[in-house]
Amino acid sequence: MQESDLDQPIETLELSVATYNMLRNGGAQTINDLVRLTPIQLINNFQLRRKHLRNLVGALAELGLSLGMTVDSNGNLVHTIDQHDIESLIREKEATPADYVDWYRHSHGYAFPPQAQVEKLFGVLSRVLNERFAHDRQHVTEFEAKHSEAKSYEAWKDLCVLEGDVKDDEELLELAGEMHVIGLYSVIERERIRVLSSTFQIAQPERLCDLEYLSSEFPWVGSLFGGDAIREIMFINSCLRSTGRVSKELSRCHPSWIESERITGLGEAYKRLAPYVGAYWVDFVRKCKEEGTQTNHSDTPSGESAQ
C-alpha cells in the first residue's frame, strides 16, 4: 500500500455499520488514523467490543495493514505489535485478567483508562525534569572543564550554585516518582468507591477508604486478581504520606522493601506493579457486576419474580 492510500477515509474499509459508527464517533477519519491505534486504545477510547475489533483487524489485514503500526526512519510503515498479541486479545474467548498483565508488559495500552492519564502526566513531568537535569549537569561539566586549574573563590561559589541546581533536579525527579505512585493509588481508590457506590447500597460510603471496612463489607475484594499488587501500592502510598520509610506491612510485600529504611527505587517498583492495575480493575468490575446482580435478585420479594 502506498503512503497516499493511508489518507483514504475509513469508509473504504469493509466494516460493519456499528464498527464504522464507533470509529467515526471516536474521531477516526482515515485509515492512517486507525493503523496507529492499539486494540486497548480502541476498546477504551472508542468503546469497541471484541467483535468490532475482529471486524476492523480483518479489514486492515486485507490491505496488508494492522493496528499499532508506526513509520520507521526510512518512511516505511512497520508493525510494532506482535500479531499473536492482537489475536489473543480479540479471540472469541473473553480475555482474562492475566491476559491484560501480559498486554501491558508489552506496552500496548491500558485496561484501566485513569492509569493512562496518570502515565501521561508523569511522562510529561519526567521528560521536562530529565531535560532540565541533563542541561544543568552539562553546565557543571563545562564549568569544571573551563576551571580545571586552581579555582578562585568566586569560581568555587559559582560551581556550588550549579551543583545545587543539579541536586534540586535530582530531588524533583524523586518527588515526581512519589507523585506517580500516589496519583495511581488515588485514581484506583476514587474509581473503586465510585463503582461500589453506584452498584450497591452502602450504609457508610465514606468508610470505603478504610481497608478493614472494605474487606468486611465486600470480602471478595481481597481475592481479586492483582489484589496483592494493589495492597502493595496502598502501603507505598501510606508510607510516602507519613514517614517516607518502609513500614512492617510494606516490608512483607516484596523482598526489595526493608523495614524502617527510606523508600527508594519507586521507578522499579512501579514497573513491577503497574501491569497488575488494569488486570485488577477488569476483575473488580466483573465481580461487581456479578455481586450486584445477585444482590438485586435477593432483594426482589418472593412474589414478584413469579409474575
3-94 CATH: 1.10.150.20
How many angstroms separate the CA atoms of 217 and 101, rounded?
A: 28
How many angstroms separate the CA atoms of 187 and 189, rounded?
A: 5
Amino acid at 50: R
* Predicted pLDDT of residue 109: 59
Q: Calculate mean pLDDT across residues 2-29.
A: 84
Q: Are 99 and 283 in contact (CB under 8 A)?
A: no
- Mean pLDDT (the chain, rounded): 84
Q: Calculate mean pLDDT across residues 130-158.
A: 89
Sign of the dihedral through C-alpha 21, 23, 28, 33 = negative
Residue 234 has pLDDT above 80, yes or no: yes
Residue 306 has pLDDT above 50, yes or no: no
**Residue among 273, 283, 223 at smallest CA distance from 118:** 273
Cell of 44: 477504551
How many angstroms separate the CA atoms of 41 and 133, rounded?
A: 32
* Predicted pLDDT of residue 250: 96
Residue 88 has pLDDT above 70, yes or no: no
Percent of all residues in the chain with a pLDDT value above 70, rounded to a whole number: 86
Residue 228 has pLDDT above 80, yes or no: yes
* Predicted pLDDT of residue 196: 92
pLDDT in tens, 184-211: 999 999 999 999 998 998 878 888 888 8
Q: What is the pTM of this model?
A: 0.66
Higher-confidence position of 116 and 262? 262
Confidence grade of residue 307 (pLDDT, cut at 50, 70, 90): very low
Amino acid at 84: H
Q: Are 236 and 250 in contact (CB under 8 A)?
A: yes
Cell of 10: 475509513
Where do you find CATH 1.10.150.20 in the chain? 3-94
pLDDT in tens, 42-84: 877 787 887 888 889 888 888 888 888 887 777 677 777 777 7
Residue 154 has pLDDT above 70, yes or no: yes
How many angstroms separate the CA atoms of 80 and 297, rounded?
A: 46
* Predicted pLDDT of residue 297: 46
Confidence grade of residue 139 (pLDDT, cut at 50, 70, 90): very high
Flag the least confident range among 36-50, 113-127, 210-224.
Answer: 36-50
pLDDT in tens, 257-297: 999 999 999 999 998 998 899 889 888 988 998 888 766 54
Residue 300 has pLDDT above 50, yes or no: no
